Amino acid sequence: MLARRMYARSRWGVVLAREDFDTADDAAAQEIAQLVGNASLDRCDSCELWQGDRCVPIPPGAATVRAATQQRALEREERLLTSRWAIAKSQRLRELTGRGGRRYHRVRASASIPRRRLLFVAGGAR
C-alpha cells in the first residue's frame, strides 16, 4: 500500500481539505479522488493527488468504479464531513453521503451530471 494525499482547493487556490489515505495503485487513488472531488463540487474547484513528491494525474472522466473503491471513497467523504476543513460545509457532499436526506448511491463517477466541472490537476508544484 502506498500513502497518498489529496488536496481540494477553491478557485483562489485555498486548500479546503486535505485527506491522507493508502491505496495499492494509482488507479484506485485516482478513482477515490474523482469521487470525493465530484461529491464536493459545490465548494471545491480543483483537486490534486500526491504520492510523496510526485503529483499523480487525475483523468477528468471516470469509467465504472469498483465497489471496494466506492466504499473507500465514501469513508473519505464521511471523514471530511466530520473534519474542521472548510469542505465539511459542502451540502452536495452531505447529500451524496446520506447525511442530507438522500441515500448514498453511485454506480459510476459520472452518474450524476454536476452543475459545474471540477478541475483535476495533472501536475505542477505544491
Looking at beta carbons, which pairs linking 30-34 to residues 24 or more positions away fall under 8 Å? 30/56, 30/57, 30/58, 30/59, 31/62, 31/65, 31/66, 31/69, 31/73, 31/109, 32/6, 32/69, 32/72, 32/73, 32/76, 33/6, 33/58, 33/120, 34/58, 34/59, 34/62, 34/65, 34/109, 34/120
Predicted pLDDT at 52 = 93
Residue 125 pLDDT class (50, 70, 90 cuts): very low
pTM for the model stands at 0.64
Quote the pLDDT of residue 105.
40
60-111: per-residue pLDDT in tens?
A: 765 556 767 778 888 888 888 888 888 888 888 888 887 654 333 443 344 4
